[in-house]
């Protein structure tokens, strides 16, 4: 330890090492590895200033905060900018925080301009070494602002753009076909091309399909694009239950944003088909009333075929109480986190025939793949798969065990995923 401190004592490296070691007593083993890897990168690259921009606070907290926490605990200076509700002080980590209104569902000139101005101001004032842009709006508007700031200041800020999924607008199968939507798609395409061709810019995708789509279209050069599988799940939190009591109804869980395009309408239709068939349908998730695709709260509360749980703050425990996860989505997904969590917990999933779902759910091995649409056909296929699991507990156990092995054998563990982002955000420049 003494030798290490002597080697790294210049430039504050000894302080970083001590901070990393102090974090060991406060966190679990996986988190320890993340912090130490971030610290090791700090030794080779120096302490970095990193700004993370994400369109929604709840998404950031659930999917991306571990990276921010690991970087901050390793001694890097981190600032987080999110849209959506402001993050409460007790929910924040050792990073600075700014809340900016971001309209997620459409172009909103006032809010979009404010995002441009805030990012421009952040880059000029705080001079981040790296700007991590997560989801489409930050990529476009914060990306353009960062390029302008680079031109004015003459200082090159690294840009890492993370595309969790192509979403409703940019998905090849998008149903958004109006004139304004086509114009929006064209403008986003052109903005991404401009950003991607600048020096020291990298794009990350969750699926090989999304990577191939944007690289194939020529939006992003292949040398600047890579695939990182999801946002990472901690297998020490998401693990199989010990046993299940006999004689209970099969419990099927839908856990996602409460949107029709996430497959909630298909799930409810299947629940109605199987009412009083010894199956319990549970719905958990966040309601965003501003989303035009949202299922109304009163509809969920009054739906007799399901049990509406609302927002869940302990997903590991909930998953250990259910038998099957269902996500018949038709949204422009990356790899849905709930499917990774289900696999880590050792339960099978029924998911739609979508590239992001097929990344983790193998039909007939770790779960069942059903058609994306139309709603009636998808709900019939979902109901059929549910009945099969209800009638064959051995198959359910077999698929759940295989799902857990697929998770452990894949690159879905949180420390592996975060380590890849740490390297991108604070590693040596290309």
Give residue-wise pLDDT tens across range 119-150.
999 999 999 999 999 999 999 999 999 999 99
Residue 342, pLDDT score: 98
Helix (H) or strand (E) holding 411: none
**Exposed/middle/buried for 394, CB within 10 Å: 0-12, 13-18, 19+?**
exposed
Predicted confidence band of residue 36 (pLDDT cuts 50, 70, 90): low
| Average pLDDT for 139-163 | 94
**Is the distance from CB of 8 to CB of 37 less than 8 angstroms?**
no
Predicted confidence band of residue 411 (pLDDT cuts 50, 70, 90): confident
Residue 192, pLDDT score: 95
Residue 377 CA to residue 370 CA, distance in Å, equals 9
**Is the distance from CB of 158 to CB of 203 less than 8 angstroms?**
no
| Average pLDDT for 71-92 | 94
Residue 386 CA to residue 403 CA, distance in Å, equals 17
Position with higher pLDDT, 402 vs 186? 402
Please provide the average confidence, as pLDDT, over all residues in the chain.
Answer: 87
Residue 286, pLDDT score: 83
Residue 247, pLDDT score: 75
Residue 162, pLDDT score: 97
Span of 51-55, 211-215, 330-334, 349-353 with lowest mean pLDDT: 330-334
Residue 209 CA to residue 421 CA, distance in Å, equals 20
**Exposed/middle/buried for 243, CB within 10 Å: 0-12, 13-18, 19+?**
exposed
Residue 341, pLDDT score: 97
Q: Over 50: is that where the pLDDT of 17 sits?
A: no
Residue 180, pLDDT score: 77
- The sheet with strand 77-82 has its strands ordered as 96-99, 77-82, 49-54, 130-134, 158-163, 201-205, 225-227
List, in sequence order, every beta strand (DSSP E) within 242-322: 250-255, 279-284, 307-310
Q: If you ran DSSP here, which 8-state letter would residue 89 be given?
A: G
Residues of the chain with pLDDT > 90: what percent? Answer: 68
Residue 337 CA to residue 146 CA, distance in Å, equals 29
Residue 70 CA to residue 68 CA, distance in Å, equals 6
Tens-digit pLDDT profile for residues 289-312: 778 889 999 999 999 999 999 999
Q: Which residues of 103-129 are buried (b: 16+ CB within 10 A; e: fewer)?
A: bbeebeeebbeebbebbbebbeeeebb
Q: Over 90: is that where the pLDDT of 288 sits?
A: no
**Is the distance from CB of 258 to CB of 295 less than 8 angstroms?**
yes
Residue 245, pLDDT score: 67
**Is the distance from CB of 258 to CB of 282 less than 8 angstroms?**
no
Residue 25, pLDDT score: 39
| Average pLDDT for 380-399 | 97
Residue 174, pLDDT score: 62
CA distances from 425 to 48, 68, 69, 161, 193 (A): 9, 10, 13, 11, 21
Tokens matching residue 212:
């191939």
Residue 12, pLDDT score: 45
Helix (H) or strand (E) holding 205: strand 201-205
Residue 20 CA to residue 95 CA, distance in Å, equals 16
Tens-digit pLDDT profile for residues 338-369: 999 999 999 999 999 988 999 999 999 999 99
Predicted confidence band of residue 388 (pLDDT cuts 50, 70, 90): very high
| Average pLDDT for 233-250 | 86
Residue 105, pLDDT score: 67
Q: Over 60: is that where the pLDDT of 386 sits?
A: yes
Q: Give the pTM.
A: 0.82
Q: Over 80: is that where the pLDDT of 67 sits?
A: yes
| Average pLDDT for 382-387 | 98
Half-sphere exposure of 371 (CA within 13 A, CB side): 10
Position with higher pLDDT, 288 vs 207? 207
């Amino acid at each position: 330890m003494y030798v290490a401190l002597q080697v790294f004592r210049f430039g504050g490296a000894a302080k970083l090492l001590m901070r990393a070691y102090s974090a060991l007593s406060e966190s679990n083993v996986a988190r320890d590895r993340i912090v130490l890897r971030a610290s090791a990168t700090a030794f080779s690259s120096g302490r970095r200033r990193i700004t993370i921009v994400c369109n929604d606070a709840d998404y950031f907290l659930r999917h991306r905060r571990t990276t921010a926490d690991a970087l901050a605990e390793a001694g890097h200076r981190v600032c987080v900018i999110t849209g959506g509700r402001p993050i409460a002080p007790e929910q924040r980590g050792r990073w600075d925080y700014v809340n900016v209104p971001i309209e997620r569902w459409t172009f909103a000139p006032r809010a979009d301009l404010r995002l441009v101005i805030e990012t421009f101001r952040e880059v000029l004032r705080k001079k981040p070494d790296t700007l991590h842009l997560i989801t489409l709006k930050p990529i476009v508007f914060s990306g353009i602002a960062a390029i302008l700031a680079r031109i004015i200041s003459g200082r090159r800020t690294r840009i890492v753009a993370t595309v969790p999924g192509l979403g409703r607008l940019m998905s090849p199968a998008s149903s958004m076909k109006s004139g304004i939507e086509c114009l929006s798609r064209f403008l986003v395409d052109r903005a991404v091309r401009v950003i991607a061709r600048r020096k020291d810019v990298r794009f990350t995708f969750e699926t090989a399909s999304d990577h191939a789509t944007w690289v194939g279209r020529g939006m992003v050069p292949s040398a600047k694009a890579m695939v990182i599988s999801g946002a990472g799940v901690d297998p020490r939190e998401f693990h199989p239950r010990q046993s299940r009591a006999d004689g209970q109804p099969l419990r099927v869980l839908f856990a996602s944003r409460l949107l029709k395009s996430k497959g909630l309408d298909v799930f409810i239709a299947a629940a109605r088909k199987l009412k009083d068939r010894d199956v319990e349908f549970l719905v958990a998730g966040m309601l965003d009333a501003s989303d035009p695709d949202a299922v109304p709260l009163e509809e969920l509360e009054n739906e007799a075929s399901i049990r509406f749980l609302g927002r869940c703050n302990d997903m590991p425990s909930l998953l250990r109480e259910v038998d099957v996860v269902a996500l018949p989505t038709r949204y422009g997904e990356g790899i849905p986190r709930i499917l990774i969590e289900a696999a880590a917990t050792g339960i099978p999933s029924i998911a739609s025939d979508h590239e992001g779902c097929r990344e983790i759910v193998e039909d007939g091995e770790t779960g069942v793949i059903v058609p994306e649409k139309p709603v009636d056909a998808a709900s019939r296929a979902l109901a059929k798969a549910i009945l099969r699991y209800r009638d064959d507990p051995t198959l359910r156990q077999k698929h759940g065990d295989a799902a857990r092995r697929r998770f452990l054998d894949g690159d879905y563990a949180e420390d592996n995923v975060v380590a890849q982002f740490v390297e991108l955000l604070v590693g040596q420049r290309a």
